[in-house]
Structure 1
Amino acid sequence: MNRISISRNFFNLYFCLISLNMIYCEEPKTNSGAVNRFNSQFYGKVETFNIPEVLDNSRLLKNYVYCIIDKGPCTANGRKGKVIVKDLMETGCEGCSEKLDELLRKSVKKIHTIFPEEWDILLEKYDPTGKNRINMTRFMDKENK
C-alpha cells in the first residue's frame, strides 16, 4: 500500500467513526431541546468538588469568578466553571440532579450577591444577546427541588 492509499483508508475510517458517533451517540436533550450535559461524568465530578469550601473563602471565590470572566488565571476547576456557566445560561440547570441543582444555585446566588459588577460582566460574556438570561433568572428564583 502506498501513502495515499493509507491516508485515504484512515480518512474513511475516521469519517465512518464520526458518522456513527453522531448517529448513535447523540447527546441527551432537555425538554427545551438544548443538549443536556448535566447528567454526564463531567457533572458527576462537579458534585464531589468541595463547592461550600470555595463559597466560604472569599479570596478563592474571587479567583474563580475572575477566571470565569477572563480577568484572571484559571485552574482546571476554573475552566470547568466556564463550561458550567455556559450550560446554566442555556438550560437553567434543566436535567440537573438535586444535589447539583442545590450546589450550583448557592454558587450563583453568592456570586450575584458578592460580586455584582463581575456578575454583569459574566452575563454579558456568556449571553451577549440576553436571550438566555431568563433561564438564569428562573434558576436563581426557583426553590430547591
Structure 2
Amino acid sequence: MELAAAAAALSVLLLAALVAAAPPDKYNARYDHTDVDAVLRNQRVLASYIKCMLDTGPCTPEGRELRKHMPEALRTNCDKCTDAQKKIVRKLSLHVREHQPVQWELLSKKFDPQQRYHESFQKFLDAAA
C-alpha cells in the first residue's frame, strides 16, 4: 500500500514538473496539428476563417483563438507562437496575400491600420523561404 502511495505521489510530482517546464511564454499548442492545407483547399472554410478574423461572421473555437492572439502575434512577429504555429501563420498569410489580395488588405487594415508592423511582419513571412 505504501509503495502505491509513493508511486502516486511521484506521478503527481512528475506531472507538476512537466507542467512547470512547459514554456509559459508560448500560445496554447492545442491547434498545432491543424491541417492547414485542408483549410486552404476548401474556400468555404477559408472564407469563414477570414470572416471570423474580420468580425463579419461567426467563429469556430480555433478562429476565436487566432483572432484573440492576432494583434500581439503581429506586433511581436509571432514571438509566442510555437514552431508549428509559425508555419501555419506563414502558410495562411502567404496564401491569402497571393490568392485573395482584397481580403489580405482588409485584414491588414484591421490588424495594422497604421502599417506599423508591415515591414517586420513581411520579414517574418520571408523567413519561411
TM over 0.5: yes
Compared with structure 1, are the counterparts of its residues 48 and 143 closer, same or farther at alpha carbon in structure 2 (3 Å cutoff)? Answer: closer
For 1:48, what is the secondary structure of its paired residue? coil
Moved more, 85-94 or 63-72: 85-94
In structure 2, distance between residues paired with 1:64 and 1:107: 11
Per-residue deviation, residues 46-89 of structure 1 (Å, max 9, x unmatched): 21233222122111101101110122222222212212432331
Map 1:1-145 → 2, pairs under 5 A:
39-40=26-27, 42=28, 44-143=29-128
Normalised by the size of structure 1, how large is the TM-score? 0.64
In structure 2, distance between residues paired with 1:48 and 1:119: 24
* Kept in 1: contact 2:70–2:111 (CA 8 A): yes
Structure 2 residues without counterparts, runs of 5 or longer: 1-22
Normalised by the size of structure 2, how large is the TM-score? 0.70
Structure 1 residues without counterparts, runs of 5 or longer: 1-27, 29-35
Q: When the two structures are aligned, how many residues end up with a matched partner?
A: 107
Give runs of ≥4 in structure 1 deviating > 3 Å. none
In structure 2, distance between residues paired with 1:85 and 1:109: 15
- Residue identity over aligned pairs, in percent, reads 26
How much is the aligned-residue C-alpha RMSD, in angstroms?
2.2
Give the drift of 1:100: 2.2
